[in-house]
Structure 1
């Protein structure tokens, strides 16, 4: 399957272990970013995953390209130019101390890119799926224009479009997000997001849910899903359910609704969490793979939840697991025993 993702890949500088920014004198270096993480997952599952972005011609830009190529992502459609690669700093929390992210991404190549940098008609030709997230239109007005142009081209070529709402409060306000995102929803077939994303990006909130306290009430979700489908024409709506007991202990499950079946996945207890960054992206990658290859949406959701549960055990943004490993966990093997 040919799958396209569009977004910003960034240089991630993270403090070693659980050290704080103010006490660290070095950083661990990896690359990552919402849609890039999805592309890596899909390449690992055997798809022809293409990542679309713009990166500088210098060595740091090339290093980002190489990080994608290392895991089998096609980089044919990456434009080169501009001055900088976006950076984010990560301090990994523990127990009751939350993780913290500081962005240094203003003026990045993709944030300043124009629609003329890409031939979206060519990019979408022969594609089966196009995925984007709310981060891309949030980075700049240019990013929003790129996202809309890509969506229009995708629909022209009959490509299924998925969106992970992915609200980032450090990039825009709820009012700014809704002004852009509600317009873009007309192109979306599969909408993915947690309860905070749905509220802040689209104005929908299930009652009785407070992720910060680990409190989840499923009664309101089906009604909200149906309202979202009616208003925006989604074929499928999906949400992850994260129960945050601490920075290193979460409950993890998901819901999916296609207008007929409302399905809840099995629940995973993730403790300890090694690295939760990219957890939602690994879910999106797993869901896309599942919807393309499984017979039912329930099977697709179980694959996605298992894939994202595994991601929480892996350092870095990328979910470096095979489809076989995910299938084993989804099938009930969560023992962690050594595979010989």
Structure 2
């Protein structure tokens, strides 16, 4: 099965261990980005996974391409050009100290995309699924226009579309996000997000939700998912539920409302995670949900797969979820005790 994602991949520079930026004398180097992370997950599960972006022709751009290829992602449609690859710096938090991200992504190659550089008819020919996140249109008008072109072709070809709302305050304002994102929702079949994304990106505020309290009111999230579905006509809405006790321990589950097995709203199994690296956790969820919806007959099973996949990712350093479908199934159907496998 062919799946396609579109967005920016960045160079990630992380402080070693739990060091602070002001302590670091070296950085650990890898690559990551919302849609690229999803593409890697889908490739690991055995799907024909393509990632579309624009990267410089120089060696760092090539290193990003090589990194994707290493994990089985098809890079046939990556456009080469522009002067630089975006960078983000990560300081991993612990206990009551939160993680921090600093972006250096202005004028990245993807922002120079122009009409005609990507042949979306060719890219999406034979594809079953197209995925994007709210990070991509936040990169500027030229990227918004390219995304809309992709979505129009996907609709014409009958390709299912998912969007992870992923609001990023460091990239655009609430007003601009809502103006752009609400106009793009007509192309979306499956919407993924959390309570902040729904409010900041789409202007729909959940009632009775207090994220900082450490407790989740399931009924409030169920109502939020149903309101999103009614307002925009989505086939399915998945809301991730993170209970942030500290930067080291989180509760993790999700709730979905759809037209099939989750009409009244279905909440998944809940995991308590000892965090290693939560960056990319939402992308791992999106990748797991796409795989589940493509391969499983019951959408509740698809949601359980997605939550288990994301749980495992948050125990792995780096942006990518480097697990197999079998490992995810084992957690989804087992105890998650973490005993040594011999």
Q: TM-score range by the shorter chain?
A: over 0.9
Partner residue in 1 for 2:45: 45
User: What is the Cα deviation at residue 146 of structure 1?
Assistant: 1.4
Partner residue in 2 for 1:121: 121
Q: Mean Cα displacement is larger for which, 199-208 or 68-77?
A: 199-208
Distance in 1 (CA, whole Å) between partners of 2:115 and 2:124 is 14
Partner residue in 2 for 1:270: 273
User: What is the Cα deviation at residue 248 of structure 1?
Assistant: 0.8
Contact 2:225–2:239 (CA<8 Å) still a contact in 1? Answer: no
User: What is the Cα deviation at residue 115 of structure 1?
Assistant: 2.6
User: What is the Cα deviation at residue 337 of structure 1?
Assistant: 1.2
Distance in 1 (CA, whole Å) between partners of 2:37 and 2:227 is 30
The runs of at least 4 consecutive aligned structure 1 residues that moved more than 3 Å come to: none
Partner residue in 2 for 1:282: 284
Partner residue in 2 for 1:210: 210
Contact 1:243–1:250 (CA<8 Å) still a contact in 2? Answer: yes
- Where does 1:235-254 land on structure 2 (aligned, <5 Å)? 235-254=235-254
Residue correspondences, number: 339
Distance in 2 (CA, whole Å) between partners of 1:34 and 1:64 is 14
Give the secondary structure class of the aligned counterpart of 1:128.
Answer: strand
Distance in 2 (CA, whole Å) between partners of 1:30 and 1:208 is 39
User: What is the Cα deviation at residue 339 of structure 1?
Assistant: 1.3
Contact 2:222–2:255 (CA<8 Å) still a contact in 1? Answer: no
Q: Mean Cα displacement is larger for which, 302-311 or 223-232?
A: 223-232
Partner residue in 2 for 1:135: 135
Give the secondary structure class of the aligned counterpart of 2:110.
Answer: coil
Give the secondary structure class of the aligned counterpart of 2:162.
Answer: strand
User: What is the Cα deviation at residue 205 of structure 1?
Assistant: 2.1
Distance in 1 (CA, whole Å) between partners of 2:309 and 2:264 is 22
Give the secondary structure class of the aligned counterpart of 2:31.
Answer: strand
Q: Which runs of 5+ in 2 are unaligned?
A: none
Give the secondary structure class of the aligned counterpart of 2:112.
Answer: coil
Contact 1:77–1:118 (CA<8 Å) still a contact in 2? Answer: yes
Q: Mean Cα displacement is larger for which, 253-262 or 208-217?
A: 208-217
User: What is the Cα deviation at residue 292 of structure 1?
Assistant: 0.5
Q: Mean Cα displacement is larger for which, 203-212 or 321-330?
A: 203-212
Which residue of 314, 317, 323 corresponds with 1:315? 317
User: What is the Cα deviation at residue 111 of structure 1?
Assistant: 1.6
Instruction: Tell me the TM-score normalized by structure 1.
Output: 0.98
User: What is the Cα deviation at residue 171 of structure 1?
Assistant: 0.3
Give the secondary structure class of the aligned counterpart of 1:4.
Answer: strand
